Amino acid sequence: MKRHYKPMLAHVATAPFNSKDWIFEIKWDGIRAISYVNTELNIQSRNDKELKYNFPEFNELKELAKNTVLDGEIVVMKNGRADFQSLLERTKTTSDKDIEYGTETLPATYVVFAILE
């Protein structure tokens, strides 16, 4: 991966719109992240914080999406909805034991928006 990417962020619009020429998606309540998938995995927040240690369940990307750069949102689902508070709990854990517990009890999902490379 030769380039370093910054996620595209939302901008203020003058008014809402609807058009048959556009496809609209769910607004996920999570952490925007760019994933660099090679022999190593790096998952970086929009502020360049490394997130791979808090989300070991994403190591499977090394097998599923080799040699790619992905742009997406990390979410934790609870009762069928993205739960930002539970996601924050996952990001604050530092011990291996707590990270493993969080992976089992509050598994994260990586919702990919775009394949950049």
The two tokens of residue 30 are: 């999570």
Mapped onto helix, strand or coil, the DSSP state of residue 57 is helix
Q: What distance in Å separates the CA atoms of residue 75 and residue 109, rounded to the nearest whole number?
A: 5
Q: What distance in Å separates the CA atoms of residue 56 and residue 14, rounded to the nearest whole number?
A: 41
Q: Which of 2, 20, 27, 92 is catalytic?
A: 27
Active site residue 97: no
| Residues with Cβ within 8 Å of residue 96, at least 6 apart in sequence | none
Active site residues: 27
